[in-house]
Amino acid sequence: MSDHHLPVLGITLGDVAGIGPEITLRTLLEHPDLREECVPVVLGDAGALRRAAASVGADPDVIVTIDDPRDATNDPGRVEVVQVGEPMPEVPVGELSAVAGDGSYRFVVAACDLAKQGAIDGIVTAPLNKAAMHAGGHQYPGHTELLAEQFGVKNFSLVLSAGDLYFFHLTTHVSLRQAIEGITKERTTDVLDLAHAFAVALGRPDTPIAVAGLNPHAGENRLFGDEDADVLEPAIEAARERGIDARGPLPADALIPQAVRGKWELVVVCYHDQGHAPFKAVYGDDGVNITVGLPVVRVSVDHGTAFDIAGEGVAREGSLVLATRRAAALAPGWDAVWRTASRADG
């Protein structure tokens, strides 16, 4: 039986044609100290893990299937797997596969079901491929939206995190045109409430929340667009009236470097690349992706399936290790995050 004082984390295997199996094996076999922080259990396909073992120099016999995450032994010499559905057929590594895309979807759904049952305390996700998932018949923009649907939540945000820095996103996996249309007063209000709820639950309710402007120079008094003045400013002012220390909108090219240097810890960015591009340039494998607004903690790597190097044994596991550590640290107090975010949502 698992050590009951440690959070049980379900690690979804992601797209088995990508680097997910390799980095999962490396994370669990080459970082035994993780077992002092959590009980990691893989949710996926045992056969895919065994086939990936050779690429990382692992003995396939250390991969053991179990029926219930709560039965995990947490033995650092074992990779314990809950087999999701029937064993998957072997798929070509490094190639887009509808079978692998369907599997990545099923692994996440299984994680959500186990979380609802109380069998796991948190979810850690290896990368999936959106095109493969779509080919497998599941039309979601990404992990975040699938998780939100499974848990029935409407107010949620993708949050990139490194250390004490958190980037909340108003929009994510949509076109730039759709992102501009999706940045509304209501959405800005929701994300400011989520960011504040997160700060409250972490015991830092007075942390200021800096909002990046949508347009260059945050619109510069409407010279470069009206959205900052007409959408972001009223939402920020309304948040301040509710007692939230929201600041901005601030020019993103000044705000984000300031955040990297430590001036801001909570930042709201407007669209995917406004947050992801500078974050990944600075933090690389030192960053993770947290979904705030779910009833259970979910942390993911901040990279993709890397089909170009899958199966070569060179994929770095650093981001998955960090995601597992962050989920283990957040899981015990996540009820407070969820309660606070639920009040904000209501």
**Is the Cβ–Cβ distance between 334 and 342 less than 8 Å?**
no
- Six-digit token pair at 140? 């979601």
List pLDDT tens digits, range 159-196: 999 989 999 999 988 999 999 999 999 999 999 999 99
Say if pTM beats, i.e. exceeds, 0.75. Answer: yes
**Is the Cβ–Cβ distance between 3 and 74 less than 8 Å?**
yes
List pLDDT tens digits, range 201-238: 788 899 999 999 999 999 999 999 999 999 999 999 99
**Is the Cβ–Cβ distance between 45 and 83 less than 8 Å?**
yes
Helices (H), the chain: 20-30, 46-53, 98-117, 130-135, 143-151, 176-182, 185-201, 227, 233-241, 252-260, 272-283, 318-330, 334-345
**Is the Cβ–Cβ distance between 236 and 211 less than 8 Å?**
yes
**Is the Cβ–Cβ distance between 134 and 234 less than 8 Å?**
no
> Of 110-114, 200-204, 209-213, 340-344, where does mean pLDDT reach its minimum?
340-344
What is the predicted pLDDT for the residue at 1? 42
List pLDDT tens digits, range 17-41: 999 999 999 999 999 999 999 999 9
**Is the Cβ–Cβ distance between 109 and 71 less than 8 Å?**
no
> Of 65-69, 104-108, 328-332, where does mean pLDDT reach its minimum?
328-332
Q: Kindly indicate the confidence band of residue 8, based on its pLDDT and cuts at 50, 70 and 90.
A: very high
- Six-digit token pair at 145? 């939206």
Contacts of 332 (CB under 8 A, 6+ apart): 7, 121
* Predicted confidence (pLDDT) at residue 3 exceeds the cutoff of 70: no
**Is the Cβ–Cβ distance between 199 and 246 less than 8 Å?**
no
Higher pLDDT, 339 or 322: 322
Can you give the three-state secondary structure of 282-295, one letter per residue? HHHHHCEEEEECCC
What is the predicted pLDDT for the residue at 345? 55
What is the predicted pLDDT for the residue at 2? 47
CA geometry: angle 165, 329, 211, nearest 5 deg: 20
* Predicted confidence (pLDDT) at residue 272 exceeds the cutoff of 80: yes
Please state, in angstroms and rounded to a whole number, the distance separating the CA atoms of residues 332 and 341. Answer: 16
Alpha carbon distances (Å) from 302 to 128, 164, 278: 11, 16, 13
Domains along the chain? 1-153+294-332 (3.40.718.10), 157-292 (3.40.718.10)
